[in-house]
């Protein structure tokens, strides 16, 4: 259960409120979150590289941090590594095949892992031969800034096409423990959840509920 930190979203508006993102991240890592995702896109999601750096410092040595953005160049990947990210998101829908291959290779040269994200069967077919580290299945349409009402059904539909042994995560549109379990039941290694945690009165408690961890 990977928490996704975004300050705001086009669909939900402000999300982080008066909480400090680095403290929010650390609280979830202390609760057991295995990694943290940080959205750095500034215009629509309010992110920045400084936000990424602050979260990396807060959880340093405790959990890897994924940078989520509309990355288009090798220089952006290098900047992600310099900021302390352990992985970067590469969105298949926004990158042609040759550029996607180039960026995966550039990440490897930087010593940073890749999460290659798909949203439909055509995109999944495109990335089959690419040497990504992790596959991400976005249940919403990121090209349209996730304004749609995506559901876990997207992950369920694509799961049978994902190669055996692939490490993959189901992203977005997950609001209940039952939906998280459905993703795992069809083979997801993990799930990434942002808004459901950010809107909760007690994000740590909600993370535990979604993870199926009983409270002490």
CATH code for position 71: 3.20.20.70
Q: Domain range holding 58?
A: 2-211
Over residues 160-178, mean pLDDT: 93
Asked if the structure places residue 183 within a domain, the reply is: yes
Over residues 89-102, mean pLDDT: 96
Asked if the structure places residue 216 within a domain, the reply is: no
How many domains, in total, are found in the chain?
1
184 CB neighbour count, 10 Å cutoff: 15
* 156 three-class SS: helix
pTM: 0.92
Average pLDDT, the chain: 93
Asked if the structure places residue 157 within a domain, the reply is: yes
Contact 90, 114 (CB under 8 A): yes
CA 48 remoteness from chain centre = 16
d(CA 67, CA 50): 12
Q: How confident is the model at residue 179 (pLDDT cuts 50, 70, 90)?
A: very high
Asked if the structure places residue 55 within a domain, the reply is: yes
Asked if the structure places residue 132 within a domain, the reply is: yes
- What pLDDT does 141 receive? 75
Over residues 70-95, mean pLDDT: 97
Region label for 111, one of left (φ > 0), alpha (ψ between -120 and 50) or beta (otherwise): left
Asked if the structure places residue 72 within a domain, the reply is: yes
Higher pLDDT, 100 or 172: 100
- What pLDDT does 105 receive? 97
**Is residue 32 over pLDDT 70?**
yes
Q: What is the dihedral of CA 138, 141, 145, 147, to 10 degrees?
A: -110
The tokens describing 17, both together, are: 């409120």
The tokens describing 148, both together, are: 């749609």
């Amino acid at each position: 259960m990977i928490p996704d930190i975004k300050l705001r979203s086009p669909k939900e508006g402000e999300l982080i409120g008066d909480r400090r993102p680095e403290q929010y991240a650390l609280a979830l890592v202390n609760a057991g979150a295995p990694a943290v995702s940080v959205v750095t896109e500034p215009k629509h999601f309010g992110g920045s590289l400084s936000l990424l750096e602050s979260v990396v410092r807060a959880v340093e040595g405790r959990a890897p941090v994924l940078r989520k953005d509309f990355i288009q160049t090798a220089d952006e990947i290098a900047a992600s590594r310099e900021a302390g990210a352990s992985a970067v998101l590469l969105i298949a829908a926004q990158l042609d095949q040759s550029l996607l291959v180039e960026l995966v290779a550039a990440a490897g040269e930087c010593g940073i892992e890749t999460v290659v994200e798909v949203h439909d069967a055509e995109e999944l077919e495109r990335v089959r031969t690419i040497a990504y580290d992790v596959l991400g299945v976005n249940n919403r349409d990121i090209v349209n800034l996730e304004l749609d009402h995506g559901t876990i059904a997207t992950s369920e539909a694509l799961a049978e096409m994902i190669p055996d042994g692939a490490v993959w995560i189901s992203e977005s549109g997950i609001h209940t423990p039952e939906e998280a379990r459905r993703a795992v039941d069809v083979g997801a290694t993990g799930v990434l959840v942002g808004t459901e945690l950010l809107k909760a009165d007690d994000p740590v408690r909600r993370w535990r509920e979604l993870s199926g961890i009983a409270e002490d």
